[in-house]
Amino acid sequence: MTIDDATIRHADPPLVRLARDGARAEIVLTAGPLNLVTRPLLRSLNAALATLEAADDVRCVIVHGENARAFCAGSDMREFAQLHANASEEKILFEDMVLRRLARLPMPTIAAIDAPALGGGLELALACDLRVARRGVMLGLTESRLAGLAGNGSLRLARLVGPARAKELLFAGETITAEIALAWGLVNRVSDASALEAARELATTIASRGPLSNRLAKELVDAAHDGPLDAALTRSTVAQQRIFDSDDLHEGVAAFFEKRDPAFKGR
């Protein structure tokens, strides 16, 4: 299926917009100056992800906060007063499900961070495959300042930066600059200007590559973290066979020898 520029309406005003430019799609957070994570925002984001899951012609997805003061500043704490023993039912499980859905989109995903990504906002960015940040932007899992906890963010952060640096950020609740995040491996690229434009350039490059091979590469890299090595290697063998069975591989080889750009079809 294909998607057009569309608004995912689960609130008024809308909180998420889906935009399309060729093989590239964008999830735009439009939830106000801080893009706070609320239940309506999560519902809208979940609907956008459901649309993208079925979009076979989308080759890369960018998540960004448009011109807001924050990429996402985390949870709206005004909701916390109603959350005690029912927090798992009303917030934790649903938020975890939406972030897992984002992480499991079949195509590569990029978070474009042009403004602070804090708490649940950084957790949202961590659920993407790649992160591009504007120079000087602050990032952090700051929940410990309020005696809170970044649940899934703690796990994803540790996988990227290692346990010692993850614990330092979590225990102290401090923020770091995009430059430090780059040195630690938390972000992939830092842009002197617009992170969104840099992410679009990267997404255009990714979208020009073999879509099937990129989807399978994502599966294999994730499998390397999620299970035993032997099981991951078995998946690698199956994935490699799918590549050699594909039209795209043979198109890529033909284009190489014919000195032209390949025309990949994703099959």
Nearest to 110 by CA among 133, 128, 135, 134: 128
Task: Give helix 163-172 / helix 151-161 axis angle, nearest 10°.
Answer: 140
Active-site position among 26, 95, 143, 219: 143
* Per-position b or e across 151-188, b if 16+ CB within 10 A of its CB: ebbbebbbeebeeebbeebbeebebbebeebbebebbb
Q: How many CB atoms lie within 10 A of CB 4?
A: 7
Nearest to 156 by CA among 124, 113, 178, 180: 124
Pairwise CA distance, residues 17 & 4, whole Å: 10
Angle at 25 between CA 99 and CA 39, to 5 degrees: 35
Active-site position among 53, 89, 95, 123: 123
Active site residue 143: yes
- Residue in this structure with the two tokens 């961070």, named with its chain if needed: 113
Pairwise CA distance, residues 50 & 213, whole Å: 22
DSSP state of 147: T
DSSP state of 161: H
Residues designated catalytic: 123, 143
